[in-house]
Amino acid sequence: MSQPHQIDYNHLPEPRANNGAAVKQSVGLSERDFLTLAKVPPLHKVLPPAVMMPESGLVDFSKELGLSYPATMPNLLAGNVKLAAGETCAADAHAGATVMLVLSGGGMLASADESVELRPGDISFLPGNQQIKINAGDSGLSYFYVDDSPLANYLGWQVATTERTVFTHFPAELLKEKLDEYEAAGIDASGVFLSHAGLPGEKLATPHLFAHLNRLMPGARNTIHAHAAPALTYVIHGGNNCFSLLGEPLVNGEIENPARVDWVDGQLSITPPNLWHGHFNNGDEPILSLVIQPAGLYYNDRTMNFLFADKQ
Ligand SMILES: [Fe+2]
């Protein structure tokens, strides 16, 4: 019977003459060596469950993660930028995209096609390849951001401009309108899932990033759950008795000896992948946070694995 190839590792011809750099680069590993290399500690053993955002600067755990570029978690980088009046900066051109939340002050943001005024509470999606400039107004400008520059660094890829990667702006007024609408409808644990028209199927901020302005009304909760994509959560308003529980294992639908993280304004919570967690607003004020996840690759691969403790 004929074979559809000529591969026979047991009977190779004479060595060839042109073994150059590309051959010298090649490394083969045994299964034993590969599995040893692949053993990395889970994120919740390496990263804290929450940190306070600096007034200006990055939350950089590259040392803890063993990475050669700034990273808050393997695929995301969070930071705060504080610009004085008239100062200008640019969105990271090497990231796939940046999700930006204006904290205080104001200014202008200019993409290749348009300029928008920035005010506190505005959220924007800034594609990495579009030379987006941010200019502080007379009262200066502070903003929180999360970008996926660590993933771009890891892959060595740069995002292409398509209708799936577009500059998108959510003015604070539009977000308030949505929050009021959902409150009037009696939805007490939801907030606004931020998407754009170029991703009608995915309903994501960018093909890679998920963004959710999460609001919990007094007494509301995001019950104990887990998902494969990790999350960075910026606490906009932590209320007066809101907390997260995290940990493992799950026993009878509850986390055994969970770590408790109380919500504080300006805090960045770090939710590791696949770790059980829930958020509980036991205070008497609505709480608000911005959740960013590198979730697109998981949804695209059908591996998000959303689990709810009460359904186990
Ligand atoms: Fe979650």
**Residue 161: which CATH number?**
2.60.120.10
CB neighbours of 6 closer than 8 A, spacing ≥ 6? none
CA–centroid distance, residue 69 to ligand 1 (Å): 26
DSSP state of 73: B
Residue 17 lies in a domain: no
Residue 108 lies in a domain: yes
Give me 58's structure tokens.
């990055």
d(CA 125, CA 8): 52
Q: Provide the residue range defining the domain that includes 182.
A: 45-311
d(CA 275, CA 262): 18
Residue 114 lies in a domain: yes
Residue 165 lies in a domain: yes
Q: Could you tell me what percent of the chain has a pLDDT over 70? A: 99
CB neighbours of 40 closer than 8 A, spacing ≥ 6? none
**Span 209-257, pLDDT tens digits:** 999 999 999 999 999 999 999 999 999 999 999 999 999 999 999 999 9
DSSP state of 49: S
Q: Could you tell me what percent of the chain has a pLDDT over 90? A: 82
CA–centroid distance, residue 155 to ligand 1 (Å): 26
Q: What are phi and psi of 103, to 5 degrees?
A: -95, -45
- Under DSSP, is residue 125 helix (H, G, I), strand (E, B) or coil? strand
Which of 11-15, 24-28, 266-270 is modeled with the greatest confidence?
266-270
What is the CB neighbour count within 10 angstroms for residue 102? 23
Residue 176 lies in a domain: yes
Q: In whole numbers, what is the pLDDT of the chain averaged over residues?
A: 94
* Predicted local distance difference test score (pLDDT) of residue 77: 98
CA–centroid distance, residue 311 to ligand 1 (Å): 15
**Backbone CA torsion sign across 80, 58, 39, 153:** positive
d(CA 232, CA 211): 10
Does the structure show a pLDDT above 90 at 76? yes
Residue 107 lies in a domain: yes
CA–centroid distance, residue 257 to ligand 1 (Å): 18
CA–centroid distance, residue 64 to ligand 1 (Å): 23
CA–centroid distance, residue 305 to ligand 1 (Å): 11
Residue 90 lies in a domain: yes
Residue 2 lies in a domain: no
CA–centroid distance, residue 304 to ligand 1 (Å): 11
CA–centroid distance, residue 56 to ligand 1 (Å): 27
CA–centroid distance, residue 260 to ligand 1 (Å): 15
d(CA 218, CA 283): 6
Q: What are phi and psi of 244, to 5 degrees?
A: -115, 150
Contact 210, 229 (CB under 8 A): yes
Give the confidence band of 311 by pLDDT, cuts at 50, 70, 90: confident
CA–centroid distance, residue 132 to ligand 1 (Å): 31
Domain count, the chain: 1
Give me 187's structure tokens.
């939805």
Does the structure show a pLDDT above 70 at 284? yes
CA–centroid distance, residue 255 to ligand 1 (Å): 14
